[in-house]
Amino acid sequence: MKLADFDYSLPPELIAQAPLPERSASRLLVVQGEGFADARFTDLPKWLRAGDLLVFNDTRVLHARLHGVKESGGHVEVLIERPLDAHRALAQVRASHAPKPGSVLLLEGVLAVEVLGREGEFFLLKFPGEEDLIELLERHGKLPLPPYIRRAAADEDEARYQTVYARAHGSVAAPTAGLHFDSALLERIKAMGVGCAWLTLHVGAGTFQPVRVEDLSEHRMHRERYFLPEETVAAMARCRAAGGRVIAVGTTSLRALEAAAADGDFRAGGGETELFILPGHQFLSADALITNFHLPRSTLLMLVCAFAGLATLRRAYAHAIAQRYRFFSYGDAMLLERGS
């Protein structure tokens, strides 16, 4: 397949720059077969039934953006790609000239961070002292809003760019489908007899990197860490045995589930995935997907096209643009059935 197959024209004013006052006040485009239904996210329970299972990604966004200077005095911006251990991380580094191995970056005026080397397009950094890297980032770093949000992170983003169930520190981008759920909606869903299960996939900064090849067979995905608990595997088995549907909340949840089922059988545990999902992929995990609207020519758009069908998604996106839905991280949502 070609990159151009996943392009579309989006009016820039439809890119949501801030969250709505209430999480669940966003719109919901329900795509079922050939038809569309325009709804509110608070209407989601209408399309659920007792015995269904929602699978959420409980990752938590790090304060992964840091600013500082090189030893030469030049400005530098660091975006953590992912922590490797208590003191080392892979990161994107923006500077007029790339820092050399062995050099030191002074970040946020207090952190003397050593550049150990490079791994592809990322830099390997070592943070100072005995304090855990996550704690250092939470105290000194800033929340990394996506590049299409044209403003700095504000106080409201500290809460609104995290899901209400965020737990496991490790992402540099939110699992945005989950941002629409508030505690009241989750309680309504549970009261219906719909189950909730959890997994963790830490979203890397590579999720925002453009696909640079026209022939998609040449594209290589960034690696992301995931963990699938035994309880979630068991909950999915019970759901299926009782005739319920497994509904992935977000492309990150779906990608983790498909990675865990890569050999045809679900296995609990952790690992890393470079799984690149394109139309033609045979899904093994989910019957439906809740997702936001994704960037043109992105791997996330390719995944949802694989799930629901390329022609269906093209029509759905055209409908959403005509109806002035809000797009991307702080935008509106879709409910998709798996295509045949």
pLDDT of residue 120: 86
Q: What whole-number distance in Å separates Cα of residue 180 and Cα of residue 292?
A: 10
Q: 3.30.56, 2.40.10, 2.60.40, 3.40.50: which CATH number matches 65-140? A: 2.40.10
Nearest to 175 by CA among 93, 289, 321, 323: 289
- DSSP secondary structure code for residue 224 in this structure: E
The fold of the 3-61+156-337 domain, in CATH, is QueA-like (3.40.1780)
Which token pair is 170?
């490790």
pLDDT of residue 52: 98
pLDDT of residue 264: 74
| Residues in CB range of 73: below 8 A, 6 or more apart | none
In this structure, the number of other CB atoms found within 10 A of the CB of residue 19 comes to: 20
Give the distance from CA 223 to its chain's centroid.
13
CA dihedral 280→57→159→168, nearest 10 degrees, is -130
In this structure, the number of other CB atoms found within 10 A of the CB of residue 167 comes to: 11
**What digits encode the pLDDT tens for the residues 30-74?**
998 888 999 999 999 999 999 999 999 999 999 999 999 999 999
Q: Tell me, what amino acid is at 292?
A: N
Burial 241-262 (b: 16+ CB within 10 A, else e): eeebbbbbbbbbbbbbbbbbbe
Q: Tell me, what amino acid is at 337?
A: E
Q: What whole-number distance in Å separates Cα of residue 280 and Cα of residue 262?
A: 15
pLDDT of residue 131: 95
Q: 3-class DSSP state for residue 320?
A: helix
Q: What whole-number distance in Å separates Cα of residue 44 and Cα of residue 218?
A: 38
C-beta separation of 251 from 303 below 8 A: yes
Nearest to 111 by CA among 151, 78, 84: 78
In order, the DSSP letters of 35-73 are: EEEEEEGGGGGGG--TT-EEEEE-EEE---EEEEEETTS
CA dihedral 44→305→223→198, nearest 10 degrees, is 20
- pLDDT by residue, tens only, the chain of 340 residues: 899 999 999 999 999 999 999 999 999 999 988 889 999 999 999 999 999 999 999 999 999 999 999 999 999 999 999 999 999 999 999 999 999 999 999 999 999 999 999 998 899 999 999 999 999 999 999 999 999 999 999 999 999 999 999 999 999 999 999 999 999 999 999 999 999 999 999 998 777 778 999 999 999 898 899 999 999 999 999 999 999 999 999 999 999 999 999 777 788 999 999 999 999 999 999 999 999 999 999 999 999 999 999 999 999 999 999 999 999 999 999 999 999 6
Q: Determine if the pTM surpasses 0.85.
A: yes
| CA dist list (Å): 190 to 28, 193, 194, 250, 313 | 20, 5, 5, 19, 29
Residue ranges covered by each domain of the chain: 3-61+156-337, 65-140
| CA dist list (Å): 294 to 86, 156, 205, 239 | 33, 23, 15, 29
Q: What whole-number distance in Å separates Cα of residue 208 and Cα of residue 210?
A: 6
198, β-bridge pairs: 56
Nearest to 29 by CA among 180, 165, 191: 180
